[in-house]
Amino acid sequence: MINAGTNLDPWYDSYAERTAGLAASEVRALFAVASRPEVVSLAGGMPFVSALPQDLVTDAMATVMREQGPVALQYGSGQGVPVLREQILEVMALEGISASADDVVVTTGSQHALELVSKLFLDPGDVVLSEGPSYVTAMVIFRSYQAEIEHVAMDEHGLIPEALREHIARVRAAGKRIKFLYTIPTFHNPAGVTLSWDRRVEILEICKSEGILVLEDNPYGLLYFEDVPPKAMRSLEEDGVIYLGTFSKTLAPGFRIGWALAPHAIRERLILANEAAVLSPSSFSQLVISQYLSTADWRAQIDTFRGVYRERKEAMIRGLETHLPGLSWTNPNGGFYVWVTLPEELDSKAMLPRAVKELVAYTPGTAFFGDGDGRQNIRLSFCYPTPERIGDGIRRLATVINGELDLLSTFADARVRRSADVDQRDAVLPPQIS
């Protein structure tokens, strides 16, 4: 039971135990500060929706209301509009996935799909395996179902298969149940790295042999800059992978439409869970997206987004190379994020107030771990600010980091001087008589 009530909330003792995991994330807490116009926010992962021609969306909305108004404004199917589910197959085909529309469940964003999967599978004390670091909101959802999160190490090539084997063995030896591996294999949030093809194959083989479901979250896969990334893990395995997709990054997040492609045996339970939660995803949003996909050159629009984000990523890397050459960072081939490693003596969370004072915001690495790790890391988002603003933000960030290092150096010098003074005094004392 949650301990003790509080005068601030007379209902504190009435909340379910699972709500203990519903703490405000560090990312959410940043939004109030980062939204101030004078602050350069390199924190949030908001898509640059201004790159989407507004007339395309306006025309799609008008057509839907003119031709399907009563349907668009009514409740719909808990599985989603059939025509949109067929079109989603075309989107997933770009990542090598061949599937049936019968196994697609449309959700209120892919985060809602993540919630539904967690509701179906997680009991208190269950274990979710996940990369370390991992998507902050996913961890909040898992904890809300009282699951434990086991972070599996990753490197520049993504999740490390041998580390996965070790975690599985250790968790099983402790008598705990592993329900699934949650992974963002392509343009990882927050690390920006992409799981190599060989590792995708090996990880799927490990999970299949161990009877572990894979939950593949892929919001960024189509937003590559140069080389096309490896095909989705779901393209290699149908029965052991639930694939989560979204229109939030390749169209606009305001529609709140995503989907889950589930093994046929799981599909029906997902539909029932969807109906229990929201009855149906927005009919209006689904039909507008369907109309857009039918009439607009959506592939060309995705290519436009790639160019927008490529330019911003390059501006961020240039800024880091110019102003913070002593640090290390990932250089992603797509997605929204750069993962920066600070000197070991710095603490990204403790440094954040100084950064806000210098009018720049980032997300401390601790937000992406469930065990307090990540203090030496920060996530920088390049998706929303203009290249010029990104350059300003990196300059301000350099001021913060260099200021922190100078301060630590000053303290270190002072300690050395005090130590030297003590040694000097000791040197002139007369010898003690024994």
In this prediction, residue 203 carries a pLDDT of 99
Asked, for residue 314, whether it belongs to a domain, the answer is yes
Amino acid at residue number 378? I
* Residue ranges in the chain modelled with pLDDT below 70: 1-7, 21, 23-31, 33-34, 411-434
**Measured on CA atoms in the order 137, 141, 144, 146, is the torsion positive or negative?**
negative
Do 202 and 85 fall into the same domain?
Answer: yes
pLDDT tens by residue, 193-227: 999 999 999 999 999 999 999 999 999 999 999 99
Q: How many CA atoms lie within 13 A of 377 on its CB side?
A: 20
pTM: 0.91
CA-CA distances (angstroms) from residue 192 to 35, 186, 233, 378, 380? Answer: 24, 8, 17, 12, 10
Asked if residue 313 lies in contact with residue 339, where contact means CB atoms within 8 angstroms, the answer is no
Do 363 and 255 fall into the same domain?
Answer: no
Do 121 and 253 fall into the same domain?
Answer: yes
Do 260 and 323 fall into the same domain?
Answer: no
In this prediction, residue 427 carries a pLDDT of 46
Asked, for residue 7, whether it belongs to a domain, the answer is no
Do 238 and 193 fall into the same domain?
Answer: yes
Do 41 and 71 fall into the same domain?
Answer: no
- Tell me which residue range forms the domain holding 315: 15-51+300-411
Asked if residue 84 lies in contact with residue 286, where contact means CB atoms within 8 angstroms, the answer is yes
Average pLDDT, the chain: 92
- What is the token pair recorded at 345? 């003596």
b/e for 148-175, b at 16 or more Cβ within 10 A?
A: bbbbbebeeebbbbebbbebbeebeeee
Would you list the DSSP string of 202-265? HHHHHHHHHT-EEEEE-SSTT-BSSSPPPPPGGGT-STTEEEEEESTTTT-GGG--EEEE--HH
Give the percent of the chain with pLDDT over 90: 84
Domain at 400, CATH number: 3.90.1150.10
pLDDT tens by residue, 315-344: 999 999 999 999 999 999 999 999 999 999
Do 43 and 93 fall into the same domain?
Answer: no
Do 277 and 326 fall into the same domain?
Answer: no
Total of domains in the chain: 2
Do 112 and 253 fall into the same domain?
Answer: yes
Do 363 and 350 fall into the same domain?
Answer: yes
Do 144 and 204 fall into the same domain?
Answer: yes
In this prediction, residue 20 carries a pLDDT of 75
Domain at 235, CATH number: 3.40.640.10
Q: Examine the fold and report which residue of 241, 269, 297 is the final residue of a domain before the chain moves on.
A: 297
Residues 6+ apart with CB under 8 A from 386: 312
Owner of token pair 């439409």: 257
In this prediction, residue 86 carries a pLDDT of 99
Distance (Å, whole) CA 365 – CA 340? 9
